[in-house]
Amino acid sequence: MNFSMTEEQRACVALARDFAEEKLQPNAADWDAQSYFPLDVLREAAQLGFAGLYAPVEAGGLGLSRLDSSMILEELAAGCTATTAYLSIHNMCAWMVGHYGQAEVVRHICRDLCSGKAWASYCLTEPDAGSDAASLRTRAVRDGREYVLQGQKAFISGAGSTDWLVVMARTGATGAAGISAFLVDANRHGISYGRLEDKMGWRCQPTRMIRFDEVRIPAEYRLGEEGDGFAIAMRGLDGGRINIGSCSLGTAQAALMRLQQHVQVREQFGKPLAALQTMQFQLADMATRLVAARQMIRLAAWKLDQSEPDASVFCAMAKQMATDTGFDVCNQALQGHGGYGYLRDYPLERYVRDCRVHQILEGTNEIMRLIVARRVLRDDSMLWLQNF
């Protein structure tokens, strides 16, 4: 296996790093404090192609691999975790529209999504359907050339500030096979938004509940065929898990760099913290875990790009490992700063707050473990763990 980045990948990563350092990192603390959703800066990111990373080229996207995209998102997250996390969700929506939308929808709307002219929110979770997404109750009933949408969604990133909604709704019987996917105009009559959720982290992107009260959707705005919605959602989440894991790694890398600088100038008992063997061991463990999690993310992304049959389970492994590691590294970096790490003057407390939710969304890490455990128990030979 070749673990080296190509010249093209290095160029993309450098572009993302420059953007993060110039546009995201200097403003992240203010955005967080003011709960400001930086659509103006997101539009600048879109001009560089970051709003349609892996959306099809014919739909206006860059058509990059999931591996390439994960590297870019990791670099952007080092500048602002929450902004990049929303961008990763938008990219998932753009990919779904570009890949499953009908020709006219792709031609017009997906191009707007990839260019930053329009923004999207992903609507799967409901108040009573979180980890058990197949039990969702939002319903879309066919009425001639339209569907009538009724129900509600919870914890929707960007809700109230975005232009389009990718909505999973029930068109058939109970269970996964009865779910379909729709693209919905976010300002359509019958849509209402709940209060702005007061969150621990991700404070610079709005999160709200959405209610649909007899919202009429043109039938041509269905994504895929009736009954394809759950499969579309799960394919999207495979990539989403890589994306959010990449965001955790980028933030953890930034936290580790902060700690590396801090311990060389901060003195205790007459010498720098870096001279203490316990601190050296901690830095070594943090760096080692970070590299291991990064390789897990890149392996899962490669498997998804190759359409490997076990890609989903590797995406689950990678998401769980990267988000657990990312949070732990940020938390340890805060601890290494002592009382200073707890102050808003330093970014460590924001890193911890922003990374914590990554262990919950895109499937909780408990669900990730269930996915992996079921695969382990299904195959006595265990050779699939070695075939890469």
pLDDT value of residue 327: 98
User: Which of these three, 163, 194, 226, is where a domain ends?
Assistant: 226
> Encoding tokens for residue 95?
């990919």
Residue 289 inside a domain? The answer is: yes
pLDDT value of residue 386: 83
3-state DSSP assignment of residue 191: strand
- Say yes or no: 130 and 218 in one domain: yes
Q: What is the rounded CA–CA span in Å between residue 308 and residue 385?
A: 13
Q: What's the per-residue H, E or C state across 118-187? A: CCEEEECCECCECCCHHHCCCEEEEECCEEEEEEEEEEEECCCCCCEEEEEEECCCCCHHHEEEEEEECC
- Say yes or no: 143 and 204 in one domain: yes
pLDDT value of residue 131: 82
Q: What is the pTM of this model?
A: 0.95
pLDDT value of residue 313: 96
CATH of the domain at 137: 2.40.110.10
- Say yes or no: 98 and 146 in one domain: no
pLDDT value of residue 333: 98
- Say yes or no: 138 and 176 in one domain: yes
Q: What number of other Cβ atoms are within 10 A of residue 303's Cβ?
A: 23
CATH of the domain at 101: 1.10.540.10
Contact assessment for residue 180 and residue 224, using Cβ atoms and an 8 Å cutoff: yes
Q: Which of 225, 262, 272 is nearest to 348 (CA)?
A: 262
- Say yes or no: 75 and 189 in one domain: no
- Say yes or no: 235 and 381 in one domain: yes
> Encoding tokens for residue 119?
């923004």
Q: What is the rounded CA–CA span in Å between residue 213 and residue 192?
A: 8
User: Which of these three, 118, 138, 154, is where a domain ends?
Assistant: 118
Describe the crossing of helices 311-336 and 365-378 by its angle, rounded to 10 degrees. 140
Q: In Å, what is the CA distance from 349 to each residue of 17, 19, 116, 255, 325?
A: 22, 23, 30, 10, 16
- Say yes or no: 213 and 273 in one domain: no
Is 362 one of the catalytic residues? yes
> Encoding tokens for residue 169?
């709704």
User: Which of these three, 191, 226, 261, is where a domain ends?
Assistant: 226
- Say yes or no: 245 and 340 in one domain: yes
- Say yes or no: 276 and 367 in one domain: yes
Q: Which domain holds residue 62?
A: 7-118
- Say yes or no: 179 and 302 in one domain: no
Residue 380 inside a domain? The answer is: yes
Residue 91 inside a domain? The answer is: yes
- Say yes or no: 26 and 69 in one domain: yes
Residue 277 inside a domain? The answer is: yes
Burial (Cβ within 10 Å: 0-12, 13-18, ≥19) of residue 120: buried
Bridging pattern class, strands 207-218 and 146-157: antiparallel
Residue 1 inside a domain? The answer is: no
CATH of the domain at 302: 1.20.140.10
Residue 2 inside a domain? The answer is: no
Q: What is the rounded CA–CA span in Å between residue 323 and residue 364?
A: 10
Contact assessment for residue 123 and residue 100, using Cβ atoms and an 8 Å cutoff: no
Q: Active site residue: 74, 126, 349, 362, which one?
A: 362
Q: In Å, what is the CA distance from 324 to each residue of 289, 302, 304?
A: 10, 21, 21
- Say yes or no: 92 and 129 in one domain: no
Under-50 pLDDT residues of the chain: none
What length is written for the chain?
388
Give ∠ CA 250-239-366 in degrees, rounded to 5: 80
pLDDT tens figures, 208-236: 999 999 999 999 999 999 999 999 999 99
Contact assessment for residue 346 and residue 246, using Cβ atoms and an 8 Å cutoff: no
Number of structural domains in the chain: 3
pLDDT value of residue 132: 84
Residue 139 inside a domain? The answer is: yes
pLDDT value of residue 4: 87
Residue 313 inside a domain? The answer is: yes
pLDDT value of residue 136: 94
Residue type, 303: K
